[in-house]
Protein backbone atom coordinates (compact mmCIF):
# COMPACT_ATOMS: atom_id res chain seq x y z
CA UNK A 1 0.00 0.00 0.00
CA UNK A 2 1.46 3.33 -1.05
CA UNK A 3 0.81 6.39 1.08
CA UNK A 4 1.98 9.91 1.71
CA UNK A 5 4.08 10.52 4.82
CA UNK A 6 4.41 13.98 6.33
CA UNK A 7 7.71 15.36 7.58
CA UNK A 8 8.14 18.30 9.90
CA UNK A 9 10.12 19.79 12.77
CA UNK A 10 9.49 21.25 16.18
CA UNK A 11 10.24 24.92 15.57
CA UNK A 12 12.41 26.59 18.23
CA UNK A 13 13.36 30.00 16.70
CA UNK A 14 17.02 30.60 15.82
CA UNK A 15 17.33 34.09 17.29
CA UNK A 16 15.66 34.15 20.70
CA UNK A 17 14.43 30.59 21.24
CA UNK A 18 10.84 30.59 22.58
CA UNK A 19 11.53 33.96 24.17
CA UNK A 20 10.83 35.22 20.65
CA UNK A 21 7.19 35.58 21.68
CA UNK A 22 8.45 38.46 23.86
CA UNK A 23 11.24 39.81 21.62
CA UNK A 24 9.71 39.30 18.19
CA UNK A 25 11.75 39.48 14.99
CA UNK A 26 9.58 38.83 11.97
CA UNK A 27 12.50 38.84 9.56
CA UNK A 28 14.33 36.17 11.54
CA UNK A 29 11.23 34.01 11.78
CA UNK A 30 10.73 34.32 8.02
CA UNK A 31 14.31 33.21 7.37
CA UNK A 32 13.94 30.27 9.75
CA UNK A 33 10.76 28.90 8.23
CA UNK A 34 11.98 29.41 4.68
CA UNK A 35 15.13 27.43 5.54
CA UNK A 36 12.92 24.58 6.75
CA UNK A 37 10.79 24.76 3.63
CA UNK A 38 13.93 24.62 1.50
CA UNK A 39 14.71 21.22 3.04
CA UNK A 40 11.28 19.94 2.06
CA UNK A 41 9.43 19.96 5.38
CA UNK A 42 5.66 20.40 5.15
CA UNK A 43 4.76 21.28 8.75
CA UNK A 44 6.06 22.68 12.01
CA UNK A 45 4.94 22.17 15.58
CA UNK A 46 5.25 25.45 17.45
CA UNK A 47 5.36 25.97 21.20
CA UNK A 48 3.77 28.82 23.10
CA UNK A 49 4.94 30.01 26.49
CA UNK A 50 1.83 29.77 28.61
CA UNK A 51 2.84 32.45 31.11
CA UNK A 52 3.51 34.94 28.30
CA UNK A 53 0.36 34.26 26.30
CA UNK A 54 -1.97 34.21 29.31
CA UNK A 55 -0.65 36.53 32.05
CA UNK A 56 -4.07 36.50 33.73
CA UNK A 57 -6.68 33.76 33.86
CA UNK A 58 -9.17 35.97 32.05
CA UNK A 59 -6.72 37.80 29.78
CA UNK A 60 -4.77 36.62 26.74
CA UNK A 61 -2.07 38.87 25.31
CA UNK A 62 -3.25 40.55 22.12
CA UNK A 63 0.38 41.17 21.16
CA UNK A 64 1.17 37.47 21.37
CA UNK A 65 -1.94 36.57 19.39
CA UNK A 66 -0.94 39.00 16.66
CA UNK A 67 2.56 37.54 16.55
CA UNK A 68 1.11 34.05 16.31
CA UNK A 69 -1.01 35.18 13.38
CA UNK A 70 2.09 36.67 11.75
CA UNK A 71 3.84 33.34 12.12
CA UNK A 72 0.89 31.60 10.45
CA UNK A 73 1.08 34.07 7.56
CA UNK A 74 4.81 33.48 7.21
CA UNK A 75 4.21 29.73 7.20
CA UNK A 76 1.67 30.22 4.43
CA UNK A 77 4.21 32.16 2.38
CA UNK A 78 6.55 29.17 2.79
CA UNK A 79 3.85 26.55 2.13
CA UNK A 80 4.16 25.02 5.60
CA UNK A 81 1.35 23.91 7.93
CA UNK A 82 1.37 24.57 11.67
CA UNK A 83 0.35 22.64 14.78
CA UNK A 84 0.08 24.94 17.80
CA UNK A 85 1.21 23.42 21.10
CA UNK A 86 -0.49 25.52 23.77
CA UNK A 87 -0.12 24.65 27.46
CA UNK A 88 3.65 24.61 27.59
CA UNK A 89 4.00 25.00 31.31
CA UNK A 90 7.13 22.88 31.05
CA UNK A 91 9.50 22.62 28.10
CA UNK A 92 13.21 21.84 27.61
CA UNK A 93 13.73 21.41 31.33
CA UNK A 94 12.12 24.69 32.44
CA UNK A 95 8.72 25.41 33.93
CA UNK A 96 6.64 28.25 32.51
CA UNK A 97 3.51 28.19 34.62
CA UNK A 98 1.54 31.45 34.75
CA UNK A 99 1.82 33.17 38.14
CA UNK A 100 -1.95 33.19 38.66
CA UNK A 101 -1.99 29.40 38.73
CA UNK A 102 -0.63 29.46 42.29
CA UNK A 103 -1.07 25.99 43.81
CA UNK A 104 -4.05 25.00 41.69
CA UNK A 105 -3.92 21.67 39.86
CA UNK A 106 -4.11 22.34 36.11
CA UNK A 107 -5.76 18.97 35.47
CA UNK A 108 -8.41 18.85 38.20
CA UNK A 109 -9.17 22.38 39.39
CA UNK A 110 -12.31 23.75 37.66
CA UNK A 111 -10.94 27.30 37.73
CA UNK A 112 -7.80 26.18 35.92
CA UNK A 113 -9.68 24.15 33.34
CA UNK A 114 -11.94 27.07 32.47
CA UNK A 115 -8.93 29.38 32.18
CA UNK A 116 -7.20 26.88 29.89
CA UNK A 117 -10.27 26.65 27.69
CA UNK A 118 -10.37 30.44 27.56
CA UNK A 119 -6.81 30.46 26.19
CA UNK A 120 -7.64 27.93 23.49
CA UNK A 121 -10.75 29.89 22.54
CA UNK A 122 -8.81 33.14 22.24
CA UNK A 123 -6.23 31.50 19.99
CA UNK A 124 -8.90 29.85 17.86
CA UNK A 125 -10.64 33.19 17.37
CA UNK A 126 -7.43 34.52 15.79
CA UNK A 127 -6.12 31.56 13.78
CA UNK A 128 -8.75 28.82 13.91
CA UNK A 129 -9.73 29.29 10.28
CA UNK A 130 -6.25 30.09 8.98
CA UNK A 131 -5.44 27.89 5.99
CA UNK A 132 -2.14 26.81 7.59
CA UNK A 133 -3.59 25.89 10.98
CA UNK A 134 -3.49 22.09 11.27
CA UNK A 135 -4.77 21.91 14.82
CA UNK A 136 -4.01 22.20 18.52
CA UNK A 137 -1.66 20.12 20.61
CA UNK A 138 -2.91 20.42 24.19
CA UNK A 139 0.60 20.91 25.51
CA UNK A 140 4.13 19.63 25.33
CA UNK A 141 4.50 16.48 27.43
CA UNK A 142 2.01 17.72 30.02
CA UNK A 143 2.08 14.31 31.70
CA UNK A 144 5.62 15.26 32.74
CA UNK A 145 4.10 17.86 35.07
CA UNK A 146 2.61 15.01 37.11
CA UNK A 147 4.87 15.49 40.14
CA UNK A 148 4.56 19.29 40.08
CA UNK A 149 0.78 19.00 40.21
CA UNK A 150 0.69 16.99 43.41
CA UNK A 151 -0.14 14.01 41.18
CA UNK A 152 -3.40 13.06 39.51
CA UNK A 153 -4.80 9.64 38.73
CA UNK A 154 -5.35 8.18 35.27
CA UNK A 155 -9.10 8.75 35.48
CA UNK A 156 -8.55 12.44 36.25
CA UNK A 157 -5.99 12.73 33.47
CA UNK A 158 -8.32 11.07 30.99
CA UNK A 159 -11.20 13.33 32.03
CA UNK A 160 -9.07 16.45 31.51
CA UNK A 161 -7.81 15.14 28.17
CA UNK A 162 -11.32 14.46 26.87
CA UNK A 163 -12.69 17.81 28.05
CA UNK A 164 -9.87 19.78 26.40
CA UNK A 165 -9.89 17.74 23.17
CA UNK A 166 -13.67 18.16 22.94
CA UNK A 167 -13.30 21.90 23.54
CA UNK A 168 -10.73 22.12 20.74
CA UNK A 169 -13.14 20.36 18.43
CA UNK A 170 -15.92 22.76 19.42
CA UNK A 171 -13.88 25.90 18.71
CA UNK A 172 -11.93 24.57 15.71
CA UNK A 173 -13.96 21.70 14.27
CA UNK A 174 -12.40 19.17 11.96
CA UNK A 175 -8.81 20.08 12.78
CA UNK A 176 -5.91 17.84 13.79
CA UNK A 177 -6.15 18.06 17.59
CA UNK A 178 -3.82 15.88 19.70
CA UNK A 179 -2.26 15.49 23.14
CA UNK A 180 1.54 15.46 22.80
CA UNK A 181 2.55 13.29 25.75
CA UNK A 182 6.01 11.81 26.15
CA UNK A 183 6.87 8.10 26.37
CA UNK A 184 5.85 7.61 29.99
CA UNK A 185 2.15 6.77 29.47
CA UNK A 186 3.35 3.99 27.14
CA UNK A 187 6.14 2.73 29.42
CA UNK A 188 4.26 3.10 32.72
CA UNK A 189 0.87 4.15 34.08
CA UNK A 190 1.36 7.91 34.28
CA UNK A 191 -0.92 10.79 33.45
CA UNK A 192 -3.22 9.35 30.81
CA UNK A 193 -4.35 5.85 29.89
CA UNK A 194 -3.09 4.26 26.71
CA UNK A 195 -6.62 3.41 25.62
CA UNK A 196 -7.69 7.06 25.85
CA UNK A 197 -4.60 8.35 24.04
CA UNK A 198 -5.14 5.81 21.24
CA UNK A 199 -8.84 6.47 20.70
CA UNK A 200 -9.46 10.20 21.20
CA UNK A 201 -8.24 13.21 19.29
CA UNK A 202 -7.25 13.13 15.64
CA UNK A 203 -4.15 10.95 16.09
CA UNK A 204 -1.99 9.16 18.62
CA UNK A 205 1.14 11.22 19.29
CA UNK A 206 4.40 9.51 20.23
CA UNK A 207 7.72 10.79 21.59
CA UNK A 208 10.32 8.12 20.89
CA UNK A 209 13.60 9.33 22.37
CA UNK A 210 16.27 6.64 22.79
CA UNK A 211 17.78 8.56 25.71
CA UNK A 212 14.71 9.31 27.81
CA UNK A 213 13.05 5.92 27.30
CA UNK A 214 16.17 4.19 28.58
CA UNK A 215 16.86 2.41 25.28
CA UNK A 216 20.48 3.56 25.29
CA UNK A 217 21.02 1.88 28.65
CA UNK A 218 20.06 -1.48 27.14
CA UNK A 219 21.28 -1.28 23.54
CA UNK A 220 23.99 0.28 21.44
CA UNK A 221 22.70 3.10 19.28
CA UNK A 222 22.86 0.88 16.18
CA UNK A 223 21.04 -2.12 17.72
CA UNK A 224 17.38 -2.84 17.15
CA UNK A 225 16.23 -1.60 20.57
CA UNK A 226 17.32 1.89 19.48
CA UNK A 227 16.87 2.04 15.72
CA UNK A 228 13.50 0.26 15.95
CA UNK A 229 12.23 2.00 19.08
CA UNK A 230 9.88 4.26 17.11
CA UNK A 231 8.60 1.24 15.17
CA UNK A 232 7.83 -0.58 18.43
CA UNK A 233 6.01 2.45 19.83
CA UNK A 234 3.89 2.73 16.68
CA UNK A 235 2.95 -0.95 16.92
CA UNK A 236 2.04 -0.51 20.60
CA UNK A 237 -0.17 2.47 19.70
CA UNK A 238 -1.81 0.43 16.92
CA UNK A 239 -2.61 -2.30 19.45
CA UNK A 240 -4.52 0.10 21.72
CA UNK A 241 -6.47 1.76 18.90
CA UNK A 242 -10.01 0.56 18.28
CA UNK A 243 -9.84 1.60 14.63
CA UNK A 244 -7.42 -0.25 12.33
CA UNK A 245 -6.85 3.06 10.53
CA UNK A 246 -6.09 5.30 13.51
CA UNK A 247 -3.30 7.77 12.51
CA UNK A 248 -0.08 7.63 14.53
CA UNK A 249 2.25 10.64 14.65
CA UNK A 250 5.90 10.28 15.67
CA UNK A 251 5.72 13.80 17.03
CA UNK A 252 9.12 14.00 18.69
CA UNK A 253 12.33 12.13 18.09
CA UNK A 254 15.88 13.37 18.01
CA UNK A 255 19.48 12.62 18.85
CA UNK A 256 22.80 14.41 19.27
CA UNK A 257 26.51 13.77 19.59
CA UNK A 258 26.34 13.65 23.37
CA UNK A 259 24.56 10.30 23.04
CA UNK A 260 26.05 8.68 19.95
CA UNK A 261 29.09 9.41 17.76
CA UNK A 262 28.54 12.50 15.63
CA UNK A 263 29.42 10.63 12.43
CA UNK A 264 26.60 8.15 13.11
CA UNK A 265 23.81 10.72 13.56
CA UNK A 266 22.54 10.70 9.93
CA UNK A 267 22.59 6.89 9.73
CA UNK A 268 20.70 6.58 13.02
CA UNK A 269 18.10 9.06 11.79
CA UNK A 270 17.65 7.21 8.51
CA UNK A 271 17.40 3.80 10.19
CA UNK A 272 14.81 5.06 12.66
CA UNK A 273 12.59 6.43 9.90
CA UNK A 274 13.00 3.48 7.51
CA UNK A 275 12.07 1.05 10.28
CA UNK A 276 9.10 2.97 11.66
CA UNK A 277 7.74 3.75 8.22
CA UNK A 278 7.14 0.03 7.66
CA UNK A 279 4.32 0.20 10.23
CA UNK A 280 0.75 0.88 9.27
CA UNK A 281 -1.03 4.17 10.04
CA UNK A 282 2.04 6.44 10.18
CA UNK A 283 0.85 10.02 9.70
CA UNK A 284 4.27 11.60 9.84
CA UNK A 285 7.57 12.31 11.57
CA UNK A 286 8.45 15.56 13.35
CA UNK A 287 12.07 16.01 14.40
CA UNK A 288 13.14 17.75 17.60
CA UNK A 289 14.17 20.36 16.80
CA UNK A 290 14.66 22.97 14.08
CA UNK A 291 17.58 24.97 15.50
CA UNK A 292 20.45 24.55 17.90
CA UNK A 293 20.02 26.46 21.14
CA UNK A 294 22.07 29.64 21.37
CA UNK A 295 24.72 29.16 24.11
CA UNK A 296 24.04 32.69 25.40
CA UNK A 297 20.93 31.20 27.01
CA UNK A 298 22.23 29.70 30.23
CA UNK A 299 20.96 27.00 32.51
CA UNK A 300 19.70 24.43 30.03
CA UNK A 301 20.92 20.85 30.18
CA UNK A 302 23.85 20.30 27.80
CA UNK A 303 21.79 17.91 25.71
CA UNK A 304 19.40 20.71 24.69
CA UNK A 305 21.97 22.80 22.81
CA UNK A 306 22.95 20.65 19.78
CA UNK A 307 19.57 19.07 18.88
CA UNK A 308 18.81 21.26 15.85
CA UNK A 309 18.95 20.26 12.19
CA UNK A 310 19.96 23.87 11.42
CA UNK A 311 22.63 25.97 13.08
CA UNK A 312 21.89 29.49 14.30
CA UNK A 313 22.61 30.86 10.81
CA UNK A 314 20.09 28.50 9.17
CA UNK A 315 22.79 26.29 7.68
CA UNK A 316 21.72 22.63 7.47
CA UNK A 317 23.60 20.15 9.62
CA UNK A 318 24.22 16.57 8.43
CA UNK A 319 21.01 15.24 9.98
CA UNK A 320 19.06 18.02 8.26
CA UNK A 321 20.56 17.07 4.91
CA UNK A 322 19.75 13.40 5.52
CA UNK A 323 16.14 14.26 6.34
CA UNK A 324 15.89 16.37 3.18
CA UNK A 325 17.23 13.42 1.17
CA UNK A 326 14.64 11.06 2.66
CA UNK A 327 11.81 13.52 2.10
CA UNK A 328 12.69 13.77 -1.57
CA UNK A 329 13.01 9.99 -1.91
CA UNK A 330 9.63 9.30 -0.33
CA UNK A 331 7.95 11.92 -2.51
CA UNK A 332 9.20 10.14 -5.62
CA UNK A 333 8.64 6.64 -4.26
CA UNK A 334 6.14 6.49 -1.39
CA UNK A 335 7.08 3.77 1.10
CA UNK A 336 4.99 0.63 1.43
CA UNK A 337 3.58 -0.84 4.62
CA UNK A 338 5.10 -4.19 5.61
CA UNK A 339 2.59 -6.95 6.37
CA UNK A 340 2.68 -8.19 9.97
CA UNK A 341 0.80 -11.50 9.99
CA UNK A 342 2.36 -12.53 13.32
CA UNK A 343 1.33 -10.64 16.46
CA UNK A 344 2.77 -10.72 19.97
CA UNK A 345 0.15 -10.81 22.74
CA UNK A 346 0.35 -8.09 25.40
CA UNK A 347 -1.96 -7.82 28.42
CA UNK A 348 -4.46 -4.96 28.15
CA UNK A 349 -3.39 -3.53 31.50
CA UNK A 350 0.34 -3.85 31.02
CA UNK A 351 1.68 -2.75 34.34
CA UNK A 352 -0.78 -4.58 36.54
CA UNK A 353 1.13 -7.65 35.35
CA UNK A 354 4.55 -6.30 36.39
CA UNK A 355 5.93 -7.18 39.81
CA UNK A 356 7.79 -4.58 41.84
CA UNK A 357 10.92 -6.74 41.76
CA UNK A 358 10.87 -7.16 37.97
CA UNK A 359 14.06 -6.65 35.99
CA UNK A 360 12.92 -3.24 34.76
CA UNK A 361 10.90 -2.12 37.79
CA UNK A 362 12.02 1.50 37.35
CA UNK A 363 11.07 1.58 33.66
CA UNK A 364 8.34 -1.00 33.42
CA UNK A 365 7.73 -0.72 29.70
CA UNK A 366 10.92 -2.64 29.01
CA UNK A 367 9.41 -5.75 30.58
CA UNK A 368 7.41 -5.92 27.34
CA UNK A 369 9.61 -4.06 24.87
CA UNK A 370 12.73 -6.15 25.54
CA UNK A 371 11.10 -9.53 24.69
CA UNK A 372 9.59 -7.91 21.58
CA UNK A 373 12.99 -6.73 20.36
CA UNK A 374 14.58 -10.07 21.22
CA UNK A 375 11.90 -11.87 19.18
CA UNK A 376 12.45 -9.53 16.22
CA UNK A 377 16.18 -10.18 16.28
CA UNK A 378 15.90 -13.95 16.72
CA UNK A 379 13.15 -14.57 14.15
CA UNK A 380 14.07 -11.84 11.67
CA UNK A 381 10.48 -10.65 11.33
CA UNK A 382 8.46 -7.56 12.18
CA UNK A 383 5.57 -8.58 14.46
CA UNK A 384 2.45 -6.64 15.28
CA UNK A 385 1.19 -6.34 18.85
CA UNK A 386 -2.30 -7.45 19.86
CA UNK A 387 -4.00 -7.03 23.23
CA UNK A 388 -5.20 -10.09 25.13
CA UNK A 389 -8.82 -8.92 24.90
CA UNK A 390 -8.67 -8.97 21.08
CA UNK A 391 -7.13 -12.36 20.35
CA UNK A 392 -10.50 -14.07 19.73
CA UNK A 393 -11.97 -11.23 17.67
CA UNK A 394 -11.58 -12.67 14.18
CA UNK A 395 -12.94 -9.60 12.38
CA UNK A 396 -10.51 -7.37 14.24
CA UNK A 397 -7.55 -9.63 13.52
CA UNK A 398 -8.47 -9.75 9.82
CA UNK A 399 -8.72 -5.96 9.70
CA UNK A 400 -5.09 -5.79 10.84
CA UNK A 401 -3.88 -8.67 8.70
CA UNK A 402 -3.00 -10.79 11.75
CA UNK A 403 -3.05 -14.55 11.15
CA UNK A 404 -0.88 -15.95 13.94
CA UNK A 405 -0.62 -15.19 17.65
CA UNK A 406 2.60 -15.61 19.64
CA UNK A 407 3.00 -15.44 23.41
CA UNK A 408 6.33 -14.32 24.80
CA UNK A 409 5.34 -13.48 28.37
pLDDT at 356: 47
Calculate the average pLDDT of the chain. Answer: 95
> Has residue 347 got a pLDDT over 50?
yes
Q: For the residues 207-219, what does the mean pLDDT come to?
A: 97
Query: What does the pLDDT read at residue 353?
Result: 57
Q: Outline which parts of the chain fall under CATH 3.20.20.80.
A: 6-332
Residue 268 has a CB neighbour count (10 Å cut-off) of 20
Q: Which of 150-159, 354-363, 377-386 has the lowest mean pLDDT?
A: 354-363
65 contacts: CB under 8 Å, gap ≥ 6:
53, 122, 123, 126
What phi, psi does 224 have (nearest 5°)? -65, -30
Alpha carbons 208 and 361: distance in angstroms, whole number: 20
Q: Given this model, what pLDDT does residue 145 score?
A: 84
**Cα dist. 362→152, 212, 323 in Å?**
19, 13, 34
**Residue 404 CB coordination number (10 Å):** 10
Whether residue 335 contacts residue 395, with contact meaning beta carbons closer than 8 Å, is answered with no
φ, ψ at 84 (rounded to 5°): -105, 115
Q: What is the CATH number of domain 6-332?
A: 3.20.20.80
Q: Are 248 and 238 in contact (CB under 8 A)?
A: yes
pLDDT of 359 > 70? The answer is no
281 has a pLDDT exceeding 50: yes
| pLDDT of amino acid 270 | 99
Cα separation of 158 and 246, whole Å? 19
Grouping H, G, I as helix, E, B as strand and the rest as coil, residue 173 is coil
Quote the pLDDT of residue 357.
45
Give the list of residues 6+ apart from residue 232 with CB closer than 8 angstroms, or none. Answer: 369, 372, 373
pLDDT in the model for residue 6: 98
Q: How far is CA 364 from CA 167, 183, 352, 353, in A?
A: 33, 12, 10, 10
Radius of gyration of the chain (CA): 21
The model's pTM is 0.96
- Percentage of the chain beyond pLDDT 70 is 97
Amino acid sequence: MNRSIRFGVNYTFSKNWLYSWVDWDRSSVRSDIQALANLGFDHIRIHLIWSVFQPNANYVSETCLQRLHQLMDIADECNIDVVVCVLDGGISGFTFYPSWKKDRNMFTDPYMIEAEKHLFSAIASHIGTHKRFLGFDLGNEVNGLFNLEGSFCLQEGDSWHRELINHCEDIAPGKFHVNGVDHRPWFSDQGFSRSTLATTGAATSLHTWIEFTGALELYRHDENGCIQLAEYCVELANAYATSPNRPVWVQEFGVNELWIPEADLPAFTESTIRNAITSNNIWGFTWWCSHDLDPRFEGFEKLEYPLGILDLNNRPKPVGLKLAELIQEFKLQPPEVVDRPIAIVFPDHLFEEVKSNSVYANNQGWNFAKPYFDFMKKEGIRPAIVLESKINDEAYLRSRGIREIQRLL
